Amino acid sequence: MSLFKACDWWSATLGEGEEFDQGCLCVGDVDNSGTGHDKIIVGSYMGMLRIFSPHANKCTEGSPADAQLLEVQLQNAIIQVEVGRFVSCSEFLHLAVLHPRKLSVYAVFGTAGNVDHGDQYQLKLIYEHNLQRTACNMTYGTFGGVTGHHSLCIQSMDGMLMFFEQDSYTFGRFLPGFLLPGPLAYNSRTDSFLTVSSARQLESYKYETLAVSADAESRQDSDLPPKAGGKRLSPDWTFVLGEQALDVSVPSFSHSSSSILVLGERNLFCFRDNGQICFMKKLEFNPSCFQPYASGTDGTTSLLLGNHTNMLLVYQDVTLKWAAQLPFVPVAVRVANFTELRGAVVSLTSDGHLLCSYMGTDPSFFSTPKVNAREVDYEQVDAEMKKLHRFIREATRTQDILPKTDAVEDLSVSSNVSSSLDKPSQALIQDMDGLPVPSVTVQVKIKALSALQSFKLSICVQPPLAVTEDQFALEPMGVGSTKVVAFSAFLNGRYPPADLTGDIIVSYSSPTELNPKGVPRVLQSRFSLPLALVCVPSSPAKNTKFKITVDTNQPPVDLSSIFREFSAKTEDKDGSSLAFQLLSGTKVTVVASKTSQRYRIQSDSFEDMWLVVKELLQRFDQHFAKLGIKDFRKSFSGSLPLQDYFLSVDHHFQLRVSAQQYQDLLSERAVQFRAIQRRLLTRFKDKTPAPLQNLDTLLEATYSQVMALAEAAEDNRALLEQAFVRLRSATHLLVLLMSLWQGLTPDQTAILEATLLPLLQDTPQLGWEESCDAAVSHLLRSCLSQSPKDQATTLAQTGGLVLGLPQDTARLKKHIALLCDRIGKGGRLTLASDANVQVPAQVQNLAAPGGVETIAEVAGDAEEMEPPQEITKFLKKKQPSKKVKKEKEKKVASTEPSGATAQEVAGGAQEAIKEAKKERKESSKGKKESRKDSSKEEAKKESKKESSSSKEKKESSKEKEGKDIGDKKVSRKSSVKVKEKTKEPEAEET
């Protein structure tokens, strides 16, 4: 596609502050000069009528004024101007001007001047019609096949077509089903009128049908039954466009052409006279106007089309032939013949820029000067090539996804959180369980380092936190100017938030030389709210459900010196304990050991400990940093509370399942409600009344069920939001404990947090469970994989399953337990592909002072947990009895005296693994029982074989346990080898 700029031939600016539309431009030999050269007639909404006879622009400032023939100020606004034979006794062309309440027909004639001032042109009124209704647009033509003169048809704003024949009013008809006026055109070949209704369909009305239809004195009468002797008005044919039309045109350049063109908002339509569609062209831009013109090729339709990207396009049917750049967006375009130029394109803008242009290129007489030939320095070229190759290599090595920001920012944003709470509080909920809800003021200071505009400031906080105002619209700022914005933050829900940080997002535009409107930019800043916003001091609690112990390498610190805002109201004077009463009702107690360097955090809610633990560790870092202690370390040596964490996971999952069930029930009741409505409508429309057969009672009952289900679904949605916030808190706490447990770096902690918290909120299409499961599975198959082969296979895979709501959380909990186990063995959390480096056993034991017990892994494709070799044998045939299990446990306990302590350290991960093994045993046992019921004879034979094999397996298991006691390292390697052989099918399924 060639893009050339439209060449200016003549231009003018029409007034100041005037407005124009597509009906305000018309071309024709309005003064009847007889030369066949067109004049440009322009009318404005301000009532100014101008007539131009343009010629080529000279290098003088007065050329547009010389081309103006007439300028008249009329009393009313000009909606549309047309040139035609509107006087019956004359064959000359006259000018029809449409006002909102008047139609005027003028004659334009010129008088030859005897001096250098030139010819004089005058405007003479021939006749006018005062309209009873407000006009919208008009069209003209030889209505009814009358030749020699043109009649006029005006469409009013309320949908009435008014017909005028010269100086007399003929009749008027209301269009059926009218809502808003659309474009109007007359087709002389079929003697019909075309318009686009509010139903977004093209309608054709015969003039004869309009003339003989029943007369409607008002708009409401058009929808009533017709009077005696008349016919109800209906269109000859219709076509559904599916979009609103901007203009309708019927070209009549030759008798062979029979096309109707409709310009829509996104498409260009072409129809035959009978309503059949010829073609439809989908436009990739927003059009503004179009104009068909005479083409040298018969059977094709040529047209000019202007759009909102300042382009003028030339189409021949659906083929783009030419494209030219305009200096503005045209609202009307015409083709005219002038004295010095034929086929000029006349375009008009909404603010009065009138341009006559032509498309093409001017010949260029510039010749390229000769350049003295010089020899090529190959050494210099090679040096330049090496330099460029070095730049390319450095550019390809960088893995930055986002572009680097400039060294100097256009804007600086700083926030200041008040150290004291607001008095009075700005919270919407003033009281929670007898405790006042406080608020705190945050001031945001914005300083502009350059001229900026289009300022918008947004405040985002985590639910259930809220702010008094979250959107600010600021005025443009100059260089060095500052603005301060203040708002208050408070708790707006009966549960603690997962994060006390908030984000400040500033969007603005930075003007440049090439873009005066400005380049859009976004700047983000973060602020932290105080802990006193969500809790108050209280008395310590002794008996709690959940406890966490944090170890340090420094002497115990007085808690009252760290939490000064809470120490004033506490009862403990020695500073060894401190309690925080959350506004939601739970209590968190922090106890410092007097003899050791440990701190215990305990509460009746696992999730509520997160904010206190995070604040405690942050204040420890700040306290020891002020003292100049650089080697301060904190760790966690207890067992990971996976079982406590899985309670939050299960609660969130059950609420998601309930939400899906409510959605299904609502869909069923809605279908039932619509079916009853259809039945009732059928009964009501029936001419012979029939009994309702309790359909009205059934409708009321269904409506009550729909409303009850909707309220229950809304309550469940609120509980789901609360459960997700609590799940986020529990996940944050688990990530923090794992980072303290293994001493993870900030990058590894960020990867772990992004894996366990892939979403900031739940959506009906994607939830936390499936997202977290996919992320954890990816880590288990990539950087935490035990085999480089598995990692290469995972990297080669390109597709994956579609994420959806799982049936249960067993798979997710197994993967999370396996993730903790592999991190406990020294696995590296990294996004690099070469992360599969095995750590020696001595380093693993040093890195894991306590925590998740080691789990035997499968060195195959599967990354799920698999039961040991002894259990897999019984999974295939028969489960061992309870007596055998008890005897086996007693023997293991007698041979391993230190096993009890190891099991206590193992904690929640080992329990989760045992539950998974039991589920697998029960499922396999159910399958075997179903098979036994199907065939009694086979069941007897299998039971005998299983009983004999079970004894052998018991003896082999006892021998293996004895071997395990003698040499643990050898037994572990052998168990892994056996699993590689026996569990390949199960690993592939996972």
Smallest CA-to-CA distance from 432 within 582, 538, 581, 583 is with 583
SS3 156: strand
CA–CA dist 153, 166 (Å, integer): 11
**Biggest distance spanned by C-alpha atoms of the chain:** 134
CB neighbourhood size of 867 (10 A): 21
Looking at residue 202, its amino acid is: L
What local confidence, expressed as pLDDT, does residue 529 receive?
92
Q: Are 356 and 339 in contact (CB under 8 A)?
A: no
Smallest CA-to-CA distance from 105 within 78, 83, 133, 73 is with 83
SS3 41: strand
Helix, strand, coil percentages (3-state) for the chain, rounded to 5, are 35, 25, 40
Q: Are 531 and 483 in contact (CB under 8 A)?
A: no
In sign, the C-alpha dihedral spanning 719, 720, 725, 727 is positive
- For residue 841, the number of C-alpha atoms closer than 13 Å in the C-beta half-sphere is 5
SS3 616: helix
Looking at residue 809, its amino acid is: T
What local confidence, expressed as pLDDT, does residue 118 receive?
64
* Three-class DSSP labels, 409-474: CCEEEEEEECCCCCCCCCCCCCEECCEECCEEEEEEEEEECCCEEEEEEEEEECCCEEECCCEEEE
469, exposed or middle or buried, with CB in 10 Å at 0-12, 13-18, 19+? Answer: exposed
Token pair for 889: 């446990």
Q: Which residues contact 181 (CB under 8 A, 6 or more apart)?
A: 136, 137, 155, 156, 157, 159
| H-assigned helices in 177-317 | 207-212
CA–CA dist 770, 341 (Å, integer): 70
Paired with 549 in beta bridges are 600
Q: How far lies 387's CA from each of 154, 379, 391, in Å?
A: 74, 12, 6
CB neighbourhood size of 987 (10 A): 18
Instruction: Give tens-digit pLDDT for 925-938.
Output: 444 444 444 444 44
- For residue 23, the number of C-alpha atoms closer than 13 Å in the C-beta half-sphere is 25
Average pLDDT by stretches of 10, the chain with 990 residues:
71 88 92 86 93 70 68 92 89 92 91 66 90 93 87 93 90 89 92 92 92 64 49 87 92 72 93 90 92 75 90 89 90 90 90 88 62 75 92 70 55 90 88 88 91 88 91 87 92 90 91 79 91 89 88 86 76 75 86 87 91 91 87 88 92 93 94 92 81 87 94 93 92 92 90 88 85 90 74 50 84 92 86 48 38 36 38 36 45 40 39 49 47 44 46 46 41 38 40
Q: Where are the beta strands (DSSP E) in 795-863?
A: none
Token pair for 839: 């750590």
Token pair for 286: 């927003």
Q: Which helix (H) or strand (E) holds 730?
A: helix 695-742
Smallest CA-to-CA distance from 295 within 315, 269, 278 is with 315
pTM: 0.50
What local confidence, expressed as pLDDT, does residue 538 receive?
87
Q: Are 105 and 86 in contact (CB under 8 A)?
A: yes
Smallest CA-to-CA distance from 583 within 410, 429, 814 is with 429
Token pair for 98: 């449409």
In sign, the C-alpha dihedral spanning 835, 837, 841, 843 is negative
Q: Which helix (H) or strand (E) holds 958?
A: helix 936-966
Bridge-based pairing of strands 3-5 and 319-325 is: parallel
What is the DSSP track for 525-579?
EEEE--GGGTEEEE---S--SEEEEEEESS----HHHH-HHHHTT-S-SSSSEEE
Q: Where are the beta strands (DSSP E) in 283-349?
A: 287-293, 302-307, 311-316, 319-325, 332-336, 344-348
CA–CA dist 606, 594 (Å, integer): 25
| H-assigned helices in 743-799 | 746-756, 768-781, 788-796
Q: Read off the DSSP letter of residue 221.
A: G
CA torsion 571→573→578→583, rounded to 10°?
30
What local confidence, expressed as pLDDT, does residue 881 receive?
45
What local confidence, expressed as pLDDT, does residue 571 receive?
61
CB neighbourhood size of 343 (10 A): 12
In sign, the C-alpha dihedral spanning 710, 716, 719, 721 is negative
What local confidence, expressed as pLDDT, does residue 585 receive?
73
Q: Which domains does the chain have, with CATH numbers?
A: 5-217+234-360 (2.130.10.10), 411-531 (2.60.40), 534-636 (3.30.310.200), 642-790+805-823 (no CATH)
536, exposed or middle or buried, with CB in 10 Å at 0-12, 13-18, 19+? Answer: middle
Q: Which helix (H) or strand (E) holds 154?
A: strand 151-156
What local confidence, expressed as pLDDT, does residue 959 receive?
45
Token pair for 72: 């008249």
Q: Which residues contact 424 (CB under 8 A, 6 or more apart)?
A: none
SS3 928: helix
CA–CA dist 233, 574 (Å, integer): 96
As a whole number of Å, the CA-based R_g of the chain is 42
SS3 341: coil
Smallest CA-to-CA distance from 162 within 129, 198, 202 is with 129
Q: How far lies 723's CA from each of 251, 607, 653, 804, in Å?
A: 67, 10, 9, 19
In sign, the C-alpha dihedral spanning 727, 732, 737, 739 is positive
Q: Are 576 and 560 in contact (CB under 8 A)?
A: no
CA–CA dist 553, 551 (Å, integer): 7
CB neighbourhood size of 534 (10 A): 23
Token pair for 983: 């569990």
CA–CA dist 766, 835 (Å, integer): 29
- Asked if the peptide bond before residue 424 counts as cis, ω within 30 degrees of 0, the response is yes
| H-assigned helices in 165-245 | 207-212
What local confidence, expressed as pLDDT, does residue 668 receive?
94
